[in-house]
Amino acid sequence: MVSEGALNRPAVQVGLVGLGNMGTAVGNLAANNGYDVIGWEYHSRVVEEINQEHTNSRFLSGVELSPRLTATDELQEVVDRADIIFVAIPSAYVRSTLEPVAAQVGEERIVVNMAKGIDIDTGLTAYRTIGRLFPDARTVMLSGPAIADEFARGMPTVVVLAGAERVDLLAVSRVLEARHFRTRFSNDATGIELGGILKNIYAIGLGLFDGKEISSVNFRSAYLTISLEEMTQLGVGLGAKAETFSYLAGLGDLLATSLSPHSHNRRMGELLAKGNSLEAVEAEMGVLPEGYKTLKMALDIAEKLHVPLPLARGLWDVIHGRVEAETFIFAFVRDFVE
């Protein structure tokens, strides 16, 4: 169903790099708003199913997709056609996927990053990687509490857009906004991105405790509060504004990812708590989620910046079998909560 106001939208072409869970949901959102959307996807069966059946059973099962959303396995086709390009692939693949087309994306394009992670080789976040790859393009960061399976089914959702130019934020918001999906603006792209990255670490922790059937509301409240404190401390050390973490892309995203049954990071914690090795978790999930890769990077960065992250350090020890989850919990109560 095309949303209210779709007939009044401008003739902007929308592109997507990645038709996974989030990419497909955002693409379908824009398509239902009346835009023609083309998305690149690595998996050929996903491309075929979207074009022929208007579904994506692999990544967004049970959602009927707009015929305005089409798929391709040729990234060049997206670059040639799209005015606004959303990047929705795992952060580990951002550089290798986009580098071949980097020279063709100039100042006439808006590139919206939705990837949440840090490149293990360069130490750059996904948003900064995109900025390096496309120095002439106008870049926007999108983050916030947005579980794709929920807003794809019409559940109310609010996200944050950050970038250098307000006109670019308005252009992106016009593509996305619908009755159930709204945007807010920020001038702190660093904080918006880091909130979306760091919350994945602590979502793993909540999954660990759930997997051990430790469901105390008292503990969860304390754990999430201290998690937010650590996120803020590291974020400020990296140049973000402290207040950013108290809003949608910090607190909001932390709550959504930690509490949602759809969260891949939380699911990883649950699997580890049940005795699965990292190798078994990767085999089960297909790929280790962003939070695990981010955790080691965050600890390394925090050490260099002299920012203490005792909670994150404790999670690392639990994940690697050095400390039992129950031992960590009581140490958390004794040592971390003052």
Residue 214's pLDDT band (boundaries 50, 70, 90)? confident
**Helix/strand/coil for 13:** strand
Which residues carry out catalysis? 199
Query: Which residue type does 47 have?
Result: V
pLDDT at 7: 46
Burial of 196-209, coded b for 16+ CB within 10 Å and e otherwise, reads bbbbbbbbbbbbbb
Does the pLDDT of residue 336 top 80, yes or no?
A: no
Instruction: Indicate the pTM of the whole model.
Output: 0.90
Q: For residue 203, give the nearest of 295, 268, 281, 266 by alpha carbon.
A: 266
Does the pLDDT of residue 2 top 80, yes or no?
A: no
234-271 pLDDT tens trace: 999 999 999 999 999 999 999 999 998 888 899 999 99
- Count how many Cα atoms sit within 13 Å of the Cα of residue 316 in the half-sphere of its side chain: 13
Average pLDDT score over residue span 146-154:
96
Does the pLDDT of residue 285 top 70, yes or no?
A: yes
pLDDT at 286: 82
Torsion region of 146: left, alpha or beta (phi above 0 gives left; psi -120 to 50 gives alpha): beta
Q: How many helices (DSSP H) and strands (DSSP E) are in the chain?
A: 15, 8
29-81 pLDDT tens trace: 999 999 999 999 999 999 999 999 999 999 999 999 999 999 999 999 999 99
Residue 337's pLDDT band (boundaries 50, 70, 90)? low
C-alpha 259/C-alpha 19 separation (Å) is 24
Work out the percent of the chain whose per-residue pLDDT is above 70. 95
Q: For residue 188, give the nearest of 143, 228, 241 by alpha carbon.
A: 241
- CB 323, CB 316: distance < 8 Å: no
- CB 310, CB 285: distance < 8 Å: no
